[in-house]
Amino acid sequence: MNILISLSSFGQSGFEPMNILEQNGFEIILYPYERKLAEDEVIEIASDCIGIVTGVEPLNKTVMDALPNLRCISRVGVGMDSVDLGYAKEKVITVVNTPDGPKRSVAEMTIAMTFSLLRKSPQADDYIKNNRHIFPTMPETNAISEALNKALNSEVNNNSDIEIEGLSKCTLDSCFGKIANLIL
């Protein structure tokens, strides 16, 4: 019983997922490319597979019809746009995804981008790349930082006003929208 794993990131944090499959009698087929597979490549590589662990490869009617042994599609990620769910249901192919999988990465990226904006990293990068040596101050980012600190340190409640330099007072509920507008 073969299972195609069609994404290069599968098992990067450890071999446990692959070991579990092998211990349960499955033979793993790792795809040979470090890119999204085309429809014909999926058909060729997964011809004898009963399952596919996939990223965003096209798994449509044509592909499913060409894979008579296919019984399960496991989509690593949230979106299911690349899988014809209606046709999979008709063919009695189980389709699952990992909706909570990217939560931590999304949270980490949000925090990293917030700090990057507060520390003016994109502007500093631009100045360095363009050989400019005087970095202008940007008081609005200091105001954003102060407003975020107040909000995060719970110095205000939802009904209290927060002042952001250059803007009218705002409540905590509307503050983050105004901060986003300043950043953008």
Task: Residue 72: give the domain boundaries.
Answer: 2-97
Q: What are the pLDDT digits (tens) for 164-179?
A: 454 445 544 455 555 5
Neighbours of 152 (CB within 10 A): 8
Per-residue tokens: 114: 């917030």
Q: Are residues 81 and 107 both part of a single domain? A: no
Q: What are the pLDDT digits (tens) for 22-81?
A: 999 999 988 777 788 889 999 999 999 999 998 888 899 999 999 999 999 998 877 888
Q: Are residues 54 and 115 both part of a single domain? A: no
With a cut of 50, say whether residue 138 has pLDDT above it.
Answer: yes
Full-model pTM: 0.59
Q: Are residues 8 and 78 both part of a single domain? A: yes
Q: What is the CATH number of the domain that holds 92?
A: 3.40.50.720
Q: Are residues 62 and 121 both part of a single domain? A: no
3-state secondary structure at position 4: strand
- At residue 168, φ and ψ (nearest 5 deg) are -70, 165
Confidence at residue 134, expressed as pLDDT on a 0 to 100 scale: 63
- Average pLDDT of the segment spanning 142-163: 55
- Give the closest residue to 167 by CA, choosing from 159, 158, 157, 179: 179
Which residues fall within 8 angstroms of residue 157, CB to CB, at 6 or more apart? 172
